[in-house]
Chains A and B, each alone.
Chain A
């Protein structure tokens, strides 16, 4: 959708592009550390995703507004400082209002600063495009990230603890798979999901070039 008509980018097309066509987790493979690190409970996935979306939208907006002012040579430190300010903002807000979620996410909240999705979007999108489109891009990418990590964490929670969002899903007497809550489970689940995504894309490409990429 967005690729064919590059000249006429609208708010919606940029948003859809981030959400589906260039989904940060499954297509661009960015931001892998939080994707794997905190996705043992579905609630953590949602919290992490929304915190990242918040930072992404605001950093994209401000970097886009300042794109003619920041000199090219010092752009990396400048972007990082802008991003880090919003991360500190969300970190302190979460400490005050959602202390449990903040404790569950731990070091990964300050580490949103070095989440490569945010940096990559700043560098490749917000630095070249007007503010409104940059907000759309941030929103699309952020929600795309949120959806993928929520999905991943739902799968891991289902097999690792037998629940989804804390609700019992598996039948009585289900033997929980502890490995799903540990590091190997994260790698392997994401690998299997990527195989699924690749397979779906191949089928879609075969059946004529339809636009819907799931």
Chain B
């Protein structure tokens, strides 16, 4: 149980993929203008990463390693992720149309979100078992969502403030993210 608890805190705060390791910066800056869209993106990413961690672990353990195809890891994993995103999109369309409409725009973007591939590769490098890998994926994704939501809240407030013209938009967001990263460094001693 202890392993899972430290994993949760670790990937949510201490080793947050966005704030401490520089993964998934593009969606982090791209879809953080509004809180609602950020929430939608976060939910979609969490769903895909959790599933992808599960499936890529199975692919690695039962397909790539026994056949000695380790060098095909990148291609195999990205294919799994791309197909998974497509499947999730189609399944959502049939099962829950309202959720599909809410997340629809963000689903194709998830394929090129590097957190997904990074989590899948790191799960293998760190040598987790199936349950741990899936849980680790879920926690990492929640960490991504947390960072995204925090930045979205700050940016909504920034829109109202009176910033110099050359600082509006992305430069302002980047510096905000930098200050957030400094505060996330404060979690460093937790585990």
Contacts and interface: CB of A to CB of B under 8 A. Distances in A.
A80 B112 CA distance: 9
Interface size range of chain B in the complex: 35 or more
B171 A80 contact: no
A212 B118 CA distance: 38
B175 interface: yes
B138 interface: no
A77 B108 contact: no
B117 A76 contact: no
Interface string B15-51: 0000111111110111000000000000000000000
A114 B113 contact: yes
Contacts of A115: 112, 114
A104 interface: no
Contacts of A187: 174-175, 177-178, 181
Interface stretch (A25-33, A128-136, A160-168): A25-33
A204 interface: no
B72 interface: yes
Contact of B182 (A84, A107, A184, A192): A184
A31 B181 contact: no
Interface stretch (B5-13, B75-83, B94-102, B152-160): B75-83
Given A187-B178, A191-B171, A32 B29 contact: yes
A190 B170 CA distance: 10
Contacts of A182: 181, 185
Name the residue in A33, A37, A195, A199 with the highest tally of chain B Cβ atoms < 10 Å from its Cβ: A33
Interface residues of A, number: 42
A194 B86 contact: no
B65 interface: no
A33 B25 contact: yes
Contacts of A179: 182
Contacts of A33: 22-26, 114
Contact of A195 (B26, B166, B182): B166
B89 to A, nearest CB: 11
Contacts of B63: none
Interface string B148-191: 00000000000000000111001111110111011011000000
Contact of A188 (B111, B175, B185): B175
B114 A195 contact: no
A30 B112 CA distance: 11
Interface in A157-203: 179, 182-188, 190-192, 194-195, 198-199, 202
Name the residue in A185, A187, A191 with the highest tally of chain B Cβ atoms < 10 Å from its Cβ: A187
Contacts of B28: 32
Nearest to B175: A191
Given A184-B179, A194-B174, A198-B166, A85 B108 contact: no
In the A-B complex, the 6 residue pairs with the smallest Cβ-Cβ separation, listed nearest first, are A187-B178, A191-B174, A188-B178, A37-B22, A32-B25, A191-B175
Given A183-B20, A183-B181, 18 more contacts: A31-B26, A36-B22, A37-B21, A37-B23, A76-B82, A81-B78, A88-B74, A92-B71, A107-B121, A107-B122, A111-B114, A113-B74, A179-B182, A187-B174, A190-B174, A191-B175, A192-B175, A198-B171
